[in-house]
């Protein structure tokens, strides 16, 4: 799938270009530069960026890439209508993790300091635990 490039994604891929260059991922460097110039990002770019971030020992970038993936997937359960953007971001990230088979007792990423984002993450995991408990 392809997605329009937002400012957040463009900034992330700007950082990924630097990492790809310093880690000698030359083909990916060109792919990332082309994605930015065309203002379109593909799922394959995100997967490749995650691989490079892991190889370059950059967990901060890995989490940011995962957050971008979370904003692009279709939610399994919508965030509450009256929630903040930050809360919805945490909710979306947890929803994406659930869709990828996460442990429902996992903790929010340690680099998060925004309490609303963390609460959105935990509330989404709690909802999923309750849904599964009732389904049994």
Q: What is the predicted pLDDT for the residue at 94?
A: 93
Question: pLDDT (tens digit, 0 to 9) for every residue of the chain, 136 residues total?
Answer: 777 778 888 888 888 888 888 888 888 888 888 888 888 888 888 888 989 988 888 888 888 888 888 778 788 898 998 999 889 989 999 998 998 888 999 998 888 889 999 999 999 999 999 999 998 8
- Token pair listed for 86: 């930050």
Cα–Cα nearest to 28, from 7, 12, 6, 44: 44
* Other C-beta atoms lying within 10 Å of the C-beta of residue 91: 27
Q: What are phi and psi of 24, to 5 degrees?
A: 60, 40
Domain boundaries, the chain: 2-70, 74-135
- What's 1-57 look like in SS3? CEEECCHHHHHHHHHHHHHHHHCCCHHHHHHHHHHHHHCEEEHHHHHHHHHHHHHCC
The pair of three-digit structure tokens given for residue 1, joined into one six-digit string: 């799938």
Q: Distance between CA 26 and CA 58 in Å, rounded?
A: 18
Whole-number pLDDT of residue 37: 84
How much is the pLDDT for 45? 87
């Amino acid at each position: 799938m392809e997605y329009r490039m937002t400012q957040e994604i463009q900034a992330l891929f700007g950082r990924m270009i630097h990492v790809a260059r310093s880690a000698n991922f030359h083909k990916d460097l060109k792919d990332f530069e082309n994605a930015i110039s065309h203002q379109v990002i593909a799922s394959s770019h995100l997967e490749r960026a995650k691989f490079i971030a892991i190889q370059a020992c950059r967990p901060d970038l890995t989490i940011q890439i995962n957050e971008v993936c979370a904003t692009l997937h279709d939610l399994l359960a919508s965030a509450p209508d009256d929630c903040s953007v930050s809360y919805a971001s945490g909710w979306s990230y947890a929803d994406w993790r659930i869709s990828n088979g996460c442990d429902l007792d996992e903790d929010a990423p340690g680099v998060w300091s925004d309490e609303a984002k963390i609460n959105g993450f935990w509330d989404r995991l709690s909802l999923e635990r309750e849904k599964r408990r009732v389904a049994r």
